[in-house]
Homo-oligomer: A and B are copies of this chain.
Amino acid sequence: MATIRQVAKHAGVSIATVSRVINNSPAVTDEVRAKVLESVNSCGYVPNVGRRTTSFIALVYSGPSSLGSPYDAALLEGMVQAMDLTDLDLVILNPSRDKRPDESYTQFFLRKGVRGAILRSTVEGRQICRTIADEKFPAMGIGDHFEHPTLAFAYADSKTTSRQAIEHLITLGHQRIAFAANEHEDGDHVDRYAAYCEALDGAGIGIDRSIVYRVPARRVNGAQLLRNVMSVPKPPTAIYVTDPPIAMGLINEARNLGMDIPRDLSVVGFDDNDSRNFVFPKMTAVCQDARQLGHEAFIELARAIEAGNGERCQHRISSSWFEINNSTGPPPVKSVGILPDGTRLEAVGP
């Protein structure tokens, strides 16, 4: 466990200067500050008092908390299970609340006694993730993933399985397949949309942008989505909904409108945990285990911290899988439509 003295030696400055950098005193040149912060991270410095040592891993979120979502809840459950296998504790931090504008993230984390960060990333928050990674503070990204030279992510690849899902629909005979995703585009959704396009392309089906939807990832938006989808001039016969709450909301709304899934509409959903089992009919879905993602992010971060010497985190990429259940079937013989007011239409001819 490095002390301020070792950091000072490593950086070739006095302990007073190291202290000033840690406490963000303005009386330090940018050059010296950068050199010291570099040493802080490469020595794995962490403040301690007597025998007591702060050993926290931070779950960092930015913007409004989504911790109640099934995805985040499962992530957290996995992290807490992993926590029990280490001697690190998990603290939840929101830098936008009390990170001072003039301090770096490393300084912010040191002030909190944090030794590594799990970044619950979103597309909006990518810049924060990049900044933290650029400071070389130990970190794992989760939730969103993107190219970065030093930031590692824990995620499940859902591109191949998304392609399987669309091919499954095509094999069943569907030609008009809609796509819906969270309005917040992230690495996973980019992959899923790419898979959708490639699968349609491979089958010689053109992409119709009018049945590609972006909606907020909430149940009520899934309900509204169904009404929108079914009221276009030529409604799709199948849809791939890449977010669990949207898929659940859509399936329940179908029953409210008197539709039968999969007879009137085939639905491939997405499941981060267990959602597919909570709707009727049990949802055909691309599935990932968010609990495991949280677990792996925590363990990998703990490993890098314990190793010390500025050891980097590695990517932890797990597998998703495509599970055929009861919400998909052949396309309807008669095409079905629903007017905005809920009136049900059935075409007379094919």
Q: Which residues of A contact B (CB under 8 A)?
A: 23, 47-49, 51-52, 54, 56, 61, 65, 67-70, 72-74, 76-77, 80-81, 83-84, 87, 89-94, 97-98, 111-113, 219, 248, 252, 255-256, 273-274, 277-282, 291
Contact = CB atoms under 8 A, between A and B. Distances in A.
Given A52-B47, A84-B94, A68 B248 contact: no
B278 A219 contact: yes
Nearest to A67: B77
A282 B51 CA distance: 56
A237 to B, nearest CB: 21
Given A54-B113, A77-B65, A83-B92, A279 B291 contact: no
A51 B70 CA distance: 39
A256 B278 CA distance: 12
A89 to B, nearest CB: 5
A91 B94 contact: no
Nearest to A48: B49
B56 A67 contact: no
Contacts of A67: 73, 76-77, 80
A246 to B, nearest CB: 12
22 contacts: A23-B51, A49-B49, A61-B80, A65-B84, A67-B77, A67-B80, A68-B73, A68-B76, A73-B76, A83-B94, A83-B97, A84-B97, A89-B92, A90-B91, A90-B92, A91-B91, A91-B92, A113-B113, A255-B281, A278-B278, A279-B280, A280-B280
Contacts of A68: 73-74, 76-77, 273, 291
Contacts of A252: 277-280, 282
Nearest to A93: B89
A96 B77 CA distance: 17
Contact of A274 (B52, B74, B87, B219): B219
A23 B49 CA distance: 12
Contacts of A70: 70, 73
**Which of A83, A92, A256 counts the most B-chain CB atoms under 10 A from its CB?**
A92
Nearest to A74: B68
Given A76-B76, A255-B280, 19 more contacts: A48-B49, A52-B111, A54-B113, A65-B77, A67-B73, A68-B77, A70-B70, A73-B73, A87-B97, A89-B112, A90-B91, A113-B113, A219-B274, A219-B277, A219-B278, A252-B282, A256-B280, A278-B278, A279-B279
A91 B80 CA distance: 11
Contacts of A47: 49, 52
A255 to B, nearest CB: 4
Nearest to A110: B52
